[in-house]
């Protein structure tokens, strides 16, 4: 089957009225919707091509949207339309009527190709990128380097996104990213570690929204990353099973099942396994007041057993009304040992004392999420719908740790401590969205959302005194955090031929209360904000499109930003929160263009972010104890460029290239210190895919992150390489694969801090990970390639 893959989308800013020109030729507009013949479900990402009748050469093309719709233009008058989709019979439409330079193909039905389905039940999908008015969609497919990877690691391979070894996610070099699952906040995105419960096999696509419209909640100054989870909807029974084994220890079993009938669609995903994540650490703290130096070299582990299950059902009351009930349960049983060696040197660089600190930590982490959703499709228009949902999510942690300090030489450092953590979080989200098209050109969206967040962290430290453990009152407390956010929004959209525009406005009211129980200290805030957004696009020609956008965003301080009490795991490098923190606000602008040159798509963008009340982590030091605490410090102005392209020089080799560069200006002060400075930051990713003989696929992903400056530190540059290889077996129904992440063990986090009264050095590294996988698909499903994932 001939699959024509020409990617088109609208790009960047510049109000269409600025162009003031149109082509002399009268373009013909072609539109329609692609639908699966049996289930009558829309086919997203089907390829639609305009083909010259005489030469059979593709003139232009596009990919259908989430609802199967497409809209194309051509200057040719001698053409036909070809529609194709993997696993379906290609359809050529050569008879149609042109009225007023418009062709309405209405609904195009595609029929499954049974022969082809048998051949490609498990296939090596090529990652495909799609550019929409207010977001970019990356259909991650089954990139081999993602074998054995968690959602966190998959995100690291997405253009514009960076993930460091601590699990901190950045978008275009800036943190403050809001991560969603299926368009909603999730308990699995509350911290980067929980993303280990989402594995690469579960992900259908990832949406990167650098300038979200007013429809999305305003949280996330850098933008939004939306992870779309797969849900099979074909009739009959479909499923997959997978096995993974890796070094360091990463072993898992996964099962995916789906059954679809006329009224019900039942789906489930289950997994269990164990994993180990070692990390080497090195810290050097220099006290320039007392001229002493503390060296700390250690190793820590996070060993986990995990279980996860997702259950859900769609109930089709009729063709226009669907109820969905779904739930997710994940449980992690953690063992976190660590060993550290400390050496303290005096002013003459003589060893003053040496001791070790060992840790044993056990924790259990149950996570729940449940959702009831109702969707009403109105008969007057395909995109006229109402969506109502209620979601609850809960996360708790029961953790106990024991620390022993043992003197090797010098001053007596012998000591023992215990800590206990009882953490609980409950979040409830109620949401309603309504979409109404008034015509083919005009449409509107409106809705509301109310989020209730209730968190409690009970933390106790006990010191061994005279053979008995006694509570350390100064380090023990219960911290309660309550936050309620009400949001209401409205957007309008107009699209006419070559250009479109989508303005919007969102109102949010926030109420935050924090309370330290033992010390009876409370802090309450409430504030109202308006968040405007606007997006526009202009199609210069079949090969050139422009898009632009603006949005206003907020970052609200979270529990760990606000809680002033700290963990004593490393009692010489302490992090604590600040209950007086104020939210950040960001104005974000971008202009993007896309060029389609001989089958190669080039995307070039320019962006600018201006942030006020910037939250920065400030380090202070007393007697070699470094305390890191967040503070609101001034403003940050960032200007950057972004470049993405896919190039296929020959049919067995393709390259995906992503490059980001930004220049920032920081202005601000804290107490008596002025923090004004400028800096640059850039990174690139190059993904090379090779199709080898014997049905073997091979890929290599090269990453480079430049050195950059933070408020007080210099962070070192890093370069690392990931590899993957895969082969189909069992007549295409199974696949075996191997991936190597960080081949040269060169991915680390290294920073140097130089201040008037202290200097600090830190180096953290995880090392190489190798994973072997096998998966098998049955029914009409694909091999799921379930993995244990990675938990930070």
User: Of 457, 343, 368, 476, which Cα lies nearest the Cα of 417?
Assistant: 476
Alpha carbons 138 and 207: distance in angstroms, whole number: 6
Specify the pairing of strand 499-516 against strand 521-539: antiparallel
Classified as helix, coil or strand, 250 is: strand
pTM above 0.85, yes or no: no
pLDDT of residue 87: 62
pLDDT of residue 6: 34
Q: Over 80: is that where the pLDDT of 737 sits?
A: yes
User: Of 690, 655, 691, 663, which Cα lies nearest the Cα of 679?
Assistant: 663
pLDDT of residue 185: 62
Span of 72-86, 274-288, 289-303, 452-466 with lowest mean pLDDT: 72-86
pLDDT of residue 534: 94
pLDDT of residue 307: 86
Positive or negative torsion for Cα 259, 260, 263, 266: positive
34 contacts 108 by C-beta, under 8 angstroms? yes
Q: Over 60: is that where the pLDDT of 183 sits?
A: yes
Q: What is the percent of the chain where pLDDT is above 70?
A: 82
For residue 1, what pLDDT band results from cuts at 50, 70 and 90?
A: very low
pLDDT of residue 125: 39
Q: Over 90: is that where the pLDDT of 9 sits?
A: no
User: What distance lies between CA 58 and its chain's CA centroid?
Assistant: 35
Positive or negative torsion for Cα 196, 202, 206, 212: negative
pLDDT in tens, 37-95: 776 778 877 788 888 887 777 777 777 876 788 888 888 888 899 888 766 788 889 88
Mean pLDDT is highest, among 79-83, 328-332, 486-490, for 486-490
Alpha carbons 25 and 29: distance in angstroms, whole number: 12
The mean pLDDT of the chain is 82
pLDDT in tens, 632-677: 999 999 999 999 887 888 888 888 888 999 999 999 988 888 889 9
DSSP state of 42: B
Alpha carbons 706 and 359: distance in angstroms, whole number: 35
For residue 18, what pLDDT band results from cuts at 50, 70 and 90?
A: very low
pLDDT in tens, 577-594: 998 899 999 999 999 887
- Rounded to the nearest 10°, the torsion over CA 757, 663, 128, 595 is -170
Residue with the larger pLDDT of the pair 74 and 482? 482
For residue 455, what pLDDT band results from cuts at 50, 70 and 90?
A: very high
pLDDT of residue 192: 46
DSSP state of 216: S
pLDDT of residue 73: 84
Percentage helix, strand, coil for the chain under 3-state DSSP, each rounded to 5: 5, 65, 30
Domains and CATH numbers, the chain: 16-118 (2.60.40.10), 128-229 (2.170.130.10), 333-367+374-706+714-725+758-769 (2.40.170.20)
pLDDT in tens, 697-736: 898 989 999 999 998 999 999 999 999 888 888 876 788 8
Q: Over 60: is that where the pLDDT of 236 sits?
A: no
Q: Over 60: is that where the pLDDT of 269 sits?
A: yes
Summarize the confidence of residues 325-339 as an average pLDDT: 91
pLDDT of residue 508: 97
Classified as helix, coil or strand, 219 is: strand
Place of tokens 């206990």: 420
pLDDT of residue 670: 84
pLDDT in tens, 751-778: 999 999 999 999 999 889 998 988 887 7
pLDDT in tens, 489-513: 999 999 887 888 999 999 999 999 9
pLDDT of residue 782: 39
pLDDT of residue 790: 29
Alpha carbons 516 and 520: distance in angstroms, whole number: 6
- Token pair for 335: 């063992």
pLDDT in tens, 238-254: 677 888 899 998 888 88
pLDDT in tens, 345-357: 999 999 999 999 9
391 contacts 428 by C-beta, under 8 angstroms? yes
pLDDT of residue 792: 28
pLDDT of residue 188: 53
In sequence order, what E strands does 152-235 have?
A: 161-163, 169-171, 177-181, 203-209, 223-229
pLDDT in tens, 601-623: 788 889 999 999 999 999 999 99
Residue with the larger pLDDT of the pair 637 and 380? 637
Positive or negative torsion for Cα 121, 123, 126, 127: positive
pLDDT in tens, 558-573: 888 898 887 788 889 9
Alpha carbons 555 and 220: distance in angstroms, whole number: 5
Q: Over 50: is that where the pLDDT of 369 sits?
A: yes
Half-sphere exposure of 21 (CA within 13 A, CB side): 6
Residue with the larger pLDDT of the pair 27 and 153? 27
Q: Over 80: is that where the pLDDT of 694 sits?
A: yes
């Amino acid at each position: 089957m001939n699959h024509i893959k020409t990617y088109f989308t609208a790009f960047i800013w510049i109000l269409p009225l600025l162009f003031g020109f149109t082509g002399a030729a009268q373009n013909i507009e072609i539109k329609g919707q692609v639908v699966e013949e049996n289930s009558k479900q829309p086919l997203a990402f089907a390829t639609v091509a305009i083909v010259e009748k005489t030469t059979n050469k593709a003139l232009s093309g596009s990919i259908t949207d989430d609802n199967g719709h497409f809209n194309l233009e051509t200057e040719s008058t001698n053409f036909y339309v070809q529609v194709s989709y993997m696993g379906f019979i290609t359809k050529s439409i050569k008879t149609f009527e042109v009225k007023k330079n418009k062709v309405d193909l209405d609904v195009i039905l595609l029929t499954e190709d049974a022969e082809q389905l048998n051949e490609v039940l498990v296939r090596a999908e090529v990652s495909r990128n799609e550019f929409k008015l207010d977001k970019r969609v990356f259909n991650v497919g089954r990139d081999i380097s993602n074998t054995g990877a968690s959602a966190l690691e998959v995100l690291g391979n997405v253009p514009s996104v960076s993930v460091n070894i601590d699990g901190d996610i950045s978008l275009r070099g800036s943190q403050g990213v809001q991560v969603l699952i299926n368009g909603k906040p999730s308990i699995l995105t509350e911290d980067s570690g929980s993303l280990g419960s989402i594995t690469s096999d579960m992900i259908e696509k990832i949406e990167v929204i650098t300038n979200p419209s007013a429809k999305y909640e305003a949280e996330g100054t850098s933008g939004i990353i939306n992870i779309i989870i797969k849900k099979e909807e074909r009739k009959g029974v479909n499923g997959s099973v997978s096995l993974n084994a890796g070094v360091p220890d990463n072993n898992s079993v996964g099962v995916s099942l789906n059954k679809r009938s006329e009224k019900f669609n039942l789906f489930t995903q289950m997994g269990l396994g164990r994993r180990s994540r070692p990390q080497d650490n090195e810290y050097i703290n220099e006290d320039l007041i007392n001229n002493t130096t503390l060296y700390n070299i250690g190793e820590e582990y996070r060993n986990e057993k995990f279980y996860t299950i997702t259950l859900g059902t769609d109930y089709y009351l009729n063709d226009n009304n669907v109820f969905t009930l779904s739930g997710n349960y994940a449980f992690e049983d953690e063992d976190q040992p660590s060993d550290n060696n400390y050496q303290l040197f005096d002013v003459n660089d003589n060893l003053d004392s040496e001791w070790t600190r060992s840790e044993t930590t056990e924790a259990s982490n149950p996570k729940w999420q449940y959702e009831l959703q109702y969707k009403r499709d109105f008969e007057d228009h395909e995109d006229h719908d109402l969506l109502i949902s209620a979601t609850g999510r809960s996360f708790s942690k029961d953790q106990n740790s024991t620390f022993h300090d043992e003197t090797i030489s010098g001053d007596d450092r012998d000591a023992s401590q215990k800590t206990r953590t009882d953490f609980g979080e409950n979040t409830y989200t109620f949401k309603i969205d309504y979409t109404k098209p008034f015509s083919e050109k005009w449409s509107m969206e409106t809705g509301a959302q109310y989020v209730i967040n209730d968190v409690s962290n009970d933390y106790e430290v006990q010191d061994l005194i005279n053979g008995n453990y006694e509570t350390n009152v100064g380090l023990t407390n219960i911290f309660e955090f309550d936050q309620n956010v009400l949001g209401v929004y409205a957007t309008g959209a107009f699209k006419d031929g070559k250009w479109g525009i989508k303005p919007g406005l969102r109102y949010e009211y926030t109420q935050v209360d924090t309370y330290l129980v033992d010390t009876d200290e409370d802090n309450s805030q409430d504030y109202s904000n308006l968040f405007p957004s606007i997006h526009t696009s202009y199609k210069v020609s079949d090969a050139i499109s422009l898009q632009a956008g603006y949005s206003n965003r907020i970052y609200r301080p979270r529990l760990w930003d606000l809680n002033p009490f700290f963990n004593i795991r490393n009692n010489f490098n302490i992090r604590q929160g600040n209950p007086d923190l104020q939210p950040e606000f960001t104005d974000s602008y971008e202009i993007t263009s896309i060029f389609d040159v001989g089958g190669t798509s080039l995307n070039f963008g320019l962006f600018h972010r201006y942030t006020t009340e910037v939250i920065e982590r400030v380090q202070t030091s007393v007697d070699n104890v470094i305390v890191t605490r967040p503070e609101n410090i001034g403003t940050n102005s960032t200007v950057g460029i972004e470049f993405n392209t896919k190039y296929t020089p020959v049919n067995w080799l393709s390259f995906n290239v992503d490059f980001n560069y930004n220049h920032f200006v920081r202005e601000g002060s804290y107490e008596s210190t002025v923090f004004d400075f400028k800096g640059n930051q850039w990174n690139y990713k190059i993904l090379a895919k090779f199709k080898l003989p014997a049905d073997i696929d091979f890929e290599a992903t090269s990453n480079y992150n430049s050195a950059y400056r933070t408020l007080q530190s210099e962070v070192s540059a890093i370069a690392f390489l990931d590899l993957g290889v895969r082969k189909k077996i069992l007549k295409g129904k199974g696949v075996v694969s191997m991936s190597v992440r960080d081949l040269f063990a060169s991915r680390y986090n290294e920073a140097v801090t130089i201040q008037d009264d202290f200097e600090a050095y830190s180096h953290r590294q995880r090392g190489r990970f190798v994973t072997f996988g096998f998966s098998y698909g049955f029914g009409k499903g694909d091999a799921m390639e379930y993995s244990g994932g990675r938990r930070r």
